[in-house]
Amino acid sequence: MNCRIMSSTLSPVIIIPARMAASRLPGKPLADIAGKPMIQHVWERAMAANIAPVWVASDDDAIIAAVQAAGGNAVKTRADHPSGSDRTFEAVERIDPDRHFDMILNLQGDLPELDPMIPATLLATAQHSRAALSTLVTLADETEAARAQIVKAVVSWRDDTAPPGNDASHNDIPRIGTALYFSRAPVPTGDAPKYHHVGVYGWQRAALARFVDLPPSPLEMAERLEQLRALEAGMTVAVAEIAEAPAGVDTEEDLAATRQRLGGG
């Protein structure tokens, strides 16, 4: 089944799932960075994109309170979700039971240096490609390609490029391709360029509903990458290239470096 969007204009919403129980850095959504909790930085940058309503989805009352104190929208979700995609789907079903939103932009809550152009480019990619799922990549250097923590995407690139000023955004998309595979290994082998997968997703709502209803797939379990479930289910995953990946916060070292860059450490 290849879920495709039939309408000419998307109605998007941004969902930022956040939980306290991160394995490597518990409590990181509330980690102080330059006088603000990390989740507030992410919310502010998503809001700065000015393309869609923004909601934080969490099972933790403290995270919800922090977002609301900053003036943001937050929705309480269950604590037993196996992935951010599941939490994102529950959140959009709760905030939009009448199904006004047909495009869900799933950002990550540990990207306090998120460039607002990233969600804008993600939406433009979804609008142009009409794929079930859209995501972003950037070129990886040799060091990044060798790190298992950095997910690599194998992409089949189209010869043409997206036209400027499409319906979703006035930003040119450098080029759009189709994901063939995702791996923690440095793929593809040989001299082909390696691409660092930026873990943000633009879901067609019907595709996300189908995705969360599927069991984990064999390749997903082998690589520990849930986006492989979409590929194994036959969904088209559109990919656009961006200049640089935002720095994520997974460890104490990442947090210290982020604080230094943003003036909080």
**Tens-digit pLDDT profile for residues 69-82:** 999 999 999 999 88
Q: What are the tokens at 178?
A: 């189709």
161-178 pLDDT, tens digit each: 544 433 434 445 668 999
Over 60: is that where the pLDDT of 238 sits? yes
Domains 10-114 and 128-245 share a fold: yes
Mean pLDDT over 27-50 rounds to 95
Query: What residue spans define the domains of the chain?
Result: 10-114, 128-245
Per DSSP, 215 falls in state P
In the chain, helix, strand, coil percent, each to 5? 30, 25, 45
Bridge partners of 133? 203, 237
CA distance 67 to 72: 5
pLDDT for 168:
38
CA distance 88 to 102: 13
pLDDT for 5:
37
CA distance 152 to 242: 14
111-139 pLDDT, tens digit each: 999 999 999 999 999 999 999 999 999 99
Per DSSP, 248 falls in state P
Q: What are the tokens at 204?
A: 């067609």
pLDDT more than 90, % of the chain: 79
* CATH superfamily ID and name for 128-245: Spore Coat Polysaccharide Biosynthesis Protein SpsA; Chain A (3.90.550.10)
pLDDT for 169:
40
Class of domain 10-114: alpha beta
Q: What is the bridge-based pairing of β-strands 237-241 and 176-183? A: antiparallel
Q: How many residues does the chain have?
A: 265
Question: 4-18, 28-42, 210-224: which range is least confident on average?
Answer: 4-18
Over 60: is that where the pLDDT of 97 sits? yes
Q: What is the bridge-based pairing of β-strands 152-157 and 73-76? A: unpaired
Alpha helices in 23-97 (DSSP H): 38-49, 61-69, 84-95
pLDDT for 208:
98
